[in-house]
Structure 1
Amino acid sequence: MIRILPALALLTMPPAAHAATPAKAPATKSARKPAALAKATPEPPRDLSAAAARVSAWVNATGDNRGLAYVIVDKPSAAVFLFDGTGARIADGPALVGLALGDEATPGIGAKSLEKIGPAEKTTPAGRYYARFGKAAGRVKVLWVDYATSVALHTIPPATMADRRKRMLSPEIDDNRVTYGCINVPKAFYQTGVVPRFAKKGGYVYVLPDEKPLEDVFPLLRAFHGVPPAATPAR
């Protein structure tokens, strides 16, 4: 489930009884007051994997994000993490990624129609990407991670909502591999977290690998030996 921090809970309280009110007849159905709503308990932040924590520490220590917001897509954990330009963690949630394991895009895949993309080609390529908003098919606005290979970050398409929503809410990781390569994220994560922070100047997306060594995907990590920051969102 998506978490946007700090979380706010609304508390509805019934009106206080008047001290001097005499005994009343049993309330009719129309006169009954709704019971108070229990205060929602904020869920703890999703844990960063060792690889995600290492990438985040490197980005924050070196300013690799150039002061822009950034997202870490942790494919092995089927999770996404959003950070603002200062490196403060803003939100996290589950993600749906490419059906096939793999860290490279098939050459020319961006020019193929969906029905011509084979199962083995449905990968979400790993790497560091400068991402900006743009139009996709049907004039739908998406965050383009890699336009050349048609990889974008967006919410679940309406046509696949029922199935993909179940997969996103499932505690399992394997069933989160279902897309053609795009990254599907929860609606709140996208609209409340990503959109306002990437709208003007864009930002960076770091997609962690399935199979390649982390240093092969992010070569500058070889020279970075910093201590990963605590995986606690800013309050």
Structure 2
Amino acid sequence: MLLGAGILVLVVPLRMVQQRHAQQATPPGPVVTAPKQAPAQPPVAAAPQAPAAPPSPGLRLADFGKTTPSPDVKLIANWALHTRDNGARSMVIIDKKMARVYVLDPQGRLKASSPALLGEWVGDESTPGVGDKPLSQLKKWEKTTPAGRFVAEMGMNAHHQDVVWVSYDLAVSMHRVIKGLPNEHRAARLASPTHTDNRISNGCVNLPKPFYEKVLAPTVKSTGAIIYVLPDKKSVEEVFKAYDVTSPLQMAQRAPETARAPG
């Protein structure tokens, strides 16, 4: 019995040592981790719309050079040139909202632009009979620069000074800036950097003397001009029946335009 017990004591520790060595020799199994969730998919972006087709290569467009006019000025210039609304005449575009005048040659190339003084009252119509009233009798709401298409004419005013008539019947002309009443400060308004103080005249368009004498008057004398007075309140589409000739959609919606004979 003593001999058996001794053998048992030797065998049991030996098995424990062998098991321990076996555990250390066995490589560890793969580490099991929780499966990762797939990253959220970004929302599917809408397919980009195809860019609008460029205007026809043969389309005649106005050239303003480095000058950036308002969208309405550009629209009218391009439309008039494309439809030949100006015929063989130059174009004078009066942007009332920005109080600025643009003179373009018959081919639609900008010759020069200038700030301008315009009718004190914001509006697009002339009061009936306003052309026959003395200036001293004009009501404030009658002092408008009417919107529309006019044929420029050289002429003389009541003071025997040369002017460019926008409408003789409405007594609306373009001329050198006048002194006006002392509290009007017309020259200072015309020279100011902002256009918000340029509504002061009785309806005529006052211009800097150099611009009138070196650009506007010589242009009207040499080629004639169609004057486009852009509206204050109405749209250019409403006043001129004009449209954006650079828009393929608008061009497709329009019947072929018949060129207007020079008036």
Regarding TM over 0.5, the answer is yes
In the TM superposition, what is the alpha-carbon distance from 1:157 to its structure 2 partner?
1.6
| Correspondence for 1:137 among 158, 178, 191 | 158
In the TM superposition, what is the alpha-carbon distance from 1:160 to its structure 2 partner?
5.4
Q: Which runs of 5+ in 2 are unaligned?
A: 1-64, 248-263
Residue in 2 that maps onto 1:57: 78
> Does the Cα contact within 8 Å between 2:100 and 2:116 map onto a contact in 1?
yes
Is 2:91 the partner of 1:66? no
Is 2:105 the partner of 1:84? yes
Is the alpha carbon distance of 1:157 and 1:145 closer, same or farther for their aligned partners in structure 2, counting shifts above 3 Å?
Answer: same
What is the correspondence of 1:144-223 to structure 2 with a 5 Å cutoff? 144-159=165-180, 163-200=185-222, 202-219=224-241, 221-222=242-243
Residue in 2 that maps onto 1:105: 126
Cα RMSD (Å) of the superposition?
A: 1.8
Q: What amino acid is aligned across from residue 91 of structure 1 in structure 2? A: A
Residue in 2 that maps onto 1:233: none
| Correspondence for 1:226 among 246, 256, 259 | 246
Q: Which runs of 5+ in 1 are unaligned?
A: 1-43, 228-235
Q: Deviations over 1:49-108 (max 9, x none)?
A: 000010011111121111111110000001111101111100011011000000000000
Give TM-score, length-normalised by structure 2. Answer: 0.66
Is 2:103 the partner of 1:94? no
> Does the Cα contact within 8 Å between 1:98 and 1:181 map onto a contact in 2?
yes
Q: Deviations over 1:145-200 (max 9, x none)?
A: 01111000111124459811110111222210000000111222211111111114
The alignment partner of 1:175 has SS state of coil
Residue in 2 that maps onto 1:23: none
Q: What amino acid is aligned across from residue 166 of structure 1 in structure 2? A: A
Give TM-score, length-normalised by structure 1. Answer: 0.73
Q: Deviations over 1:91-132 (max 9, x none)?
A: 011011000000000000000000100111100000010011
> Does the Cα contact within 8 Å between 1:45 and 1:92 map onto a contact in 2?
no
Q: What amino acid is aligned across from residue 225 of structure 1 in structure 2? A: V
> Does the Cα contact within 8 Å between 2:152 and 2:226 map onto a contact in 1?
yes
> Does the Cα contact within 8 Å between 2:179 and 2:186 map onto a contact in 1?
no
Residue in 1 that maps onto 2:23: none
> Does the Cα contact within 8 Å between 2:153 and 2:165 map onto a contact in 1?
yes
2:224 & 2:157 partners in 1: Cα distance?
A: 16
2:189 & 2:245 partners in 1: Cα distance?
A: 36
Q: What amino acid is aligned across from residue 206 of structure 2 in structure 1? A: N
Number of aligned pairs? 182
1:74 & 1:46 partners in 2: Cα distance?
A: 14
Percent of matched pairs sharing the same residue: 38
Q: What amino acid is aligned across from residue 71 of structure 1 in structure 2? A: V
Is the alpha carbon distance of 1:47 and 1:115 closer, same or farther for their aligned partners in structure 2, counting shifts above 3 Å?
Answer: same
Q: What amino acid is aligned across from residue 210 of structure 2 in structure 1? A: A
1:226 & 1:103 partners in 2: Cα distance?
A: 27
> Does the Cα contact within 8 Å between 1:153 and 1:182 map onto a contact in 2?
yes
Tell which deviates more after alignment, 190-199 or 91-100: 190-199
Is the alpha carbon distance of 1:178 and 1:45 closer, same or farther for their aligned partners in structure 2, counting shifts above 3 Å?
Answer: farther
